[in-house]
Amino acid sequence: MRFNAYFIRLAHSQAAFQGNVQMDGKNLPASFRSIGSDLFVVHFKNQVELTFRQRVEFRNARGAFTVLLPVLSQYNQRKLKRMAEVLDGIEGKDFRQIVPALLTVENFLEMEGLLYFFSLERRVAVDMLTELELAQEAKVINLNYLFVTSWEHFRESLVAMEKVLRQAYEGRERTVKFTRLEKAVKAPQESVFFRYLLKKNSQEFPCRILPQALVFSQLPLSEEEKARMADIEKVLRANKLMIFTFENVSKNTAFSLKQINDALWTMLNEGKVLQLDERYFIFSEEYAKIINRLKKFKRNQGDILTFDDLRDMTAYSRKYLIAIFEYWDRQNITCRVGNQRRILLGA
């Protein structure tokens, strides 16, 4: 894997300077900045591929430097100081020692991209990372990308998420939004790490994982909750809102935002409604009717569908049609072809 910058060992009197280095018979311009003692960061205009302990000469062989590590992220002064400690004597260390040391500076490492740098076969790297995990010096989150974090960071994050879920479960909160869990573990919900923690914790708390929240599946509904869900459904149907939003429920009922949120997530968990996107929900029976009409359309009229076709099929306005089409695209029920859709669903 190529990088724009590397940590290097270099004896030089200037703290910052420009120079040219020889690589593959070419002279490449580079800028150098000292981070202490004989440690520098070298920046290249374009990405270059170097290896651990590689010796790189300056133009006309006037000196050389030794490559130590790629620069993997942005570093403030505190992190640079810690990185300098990691780099101290790194030339005499092997992969097993370097990974835990790096994880004291970086929360995460994607080791797949560093295999060439360390001249390691993937199989060997997997064996080494497995040894580190067994010794609780690192935690492998994803074997496909060799995505790892420190064991300490993994345990702290797991406990932080577990604490939020336990409080919600014991407090009989039916749903927990991922945005709340993001704050606890300081990781975005789209990340591999967040999903890994969620999967681990969901084994302890019986729940259903939805796109943006989890619903505790074994908390019995109170009579009040059942009545609230029935009222919401009744109001929506009375107003012919078969596709609806959170705001539609809030406008037509006197329930609090939390009561509406819990009711909708429970209805979603029980399969009474389907979530088209972050904004729109649809009653499951209404969605099933539309799918049946879609299959009939494909049998009788072919597999190309336009907005007008879907409008004739449902009588919904454009904003609802967009939500349906985009949901179908994500579910591979349709695929976009210009301003039309090709129906992928079997007739």
Q: Are residues 17 and 79 in the same domain?
A: yes
Q: Would you state the structure tokens that stand for residue 52, as one six-digit string?
A: 């651990």
Q: Would you state the structure tokens that stand for residue 1, as one six-digit string?
A: 């894997």
Q: Would you state the structure tokens that stand for residue 258, as one six-digit string?
A: 């939390």
Distance between CA atoms of residues 109 and 150, nearest Å? 9
Q: Are residues 87 and 119 in the same domain?
A: no
Distance between CA atoms of residues 135 and 131, nearest Å? 6
Which residues have CB under 8 Å from 166's CB, separation 6+? 205
Distance between CA atoms of residues 59 and 11, nearest Å? 16
Q: Are residues 97 and 133 in the same domain?
A: yes
Give domain status of residue 169, yes or no: yes
Give domain status of residue 110, yes or no: yes
Which residue, 136, 165, 168, is CA-closest to 153?
A: 136
Indicate the DSSP class of residue 222. Answer: P
Which pLDDT belongs to residue 42? 96
Which pLDDT belongs to residue 212? 87
Q: Are residues 3 and 68 in the same domain?
A: yes
Q: Are residues 246 and 260 in the same domain?
A: yes
Distance between CA atoms of residues 121 and 304, nearest Å? 48
Q: Are residues 1 and 87 in the same domain?
A: yes
Beta bridge partners of 154: none
Overall domain count for the chain: 5
Q: Would you state the structure tokens that stand for residue 180, as one six-digit string?
A: 């709340």
Domain range for 244 is 223-270
Tens of pLDDT along the chain (347 residues) come to: 899 999 999 998 899 999 899 888 788 999 999 998 899 999 999 999 999 999 999 887 678 999 999 999 888 888 899 999 999 889 999 999 999 999 999 999 999 989 999 999 999 999 999 999 999 999 999 988 899 999 999 999 999 999 999 999 888 888 899 999 999 999 999 999 999 999 998 888 888 888 889 888 777 778 898 999 999 999 999 999 999 999 999 999 999 998 999 899 889 988 999 999 999 999 999 999 999 999 999 999 999 999 999 999 999 999 999 999 999 999 999 999 988 999 998 76
Which residues have CB under 8 Å from 255's CB, separation 6+? 228, 231, 232, 249, 263
Which pLDDT belongs to residue 52? 96
> CATH number, domain at 299?
1.10.10.10
Q: Are residues 23 and 48 in the same domain?
A: yes
Q: Are residues 189 and 242 in the same domain?
A: no
CA 4 to chain centre: 24
Q: Are residues 184 and 205 in the same domain?
A: yes
What is the Cα gyration radius of the chain?
28
Which pLDDT belongs to residue 254? 95
Which one of 46, 68, 91 terminates a domain? 91
The residue type of 82 is R
Strand order in the sheet with 207-209: 175-177, 213-216, 207-209
Q: Are residues 98 and 27 in the same domain?
A: no
Answer yes or no: are the C-beta atoms of 193 and 141 closer than 8 Å: yes
Beta bridge partners of 27: 22
Indicate the DSSP class of residue 255. Answer: -
CB-count exposure of residue 117 (10 Å: 0-12, 13-18, 19+): buried
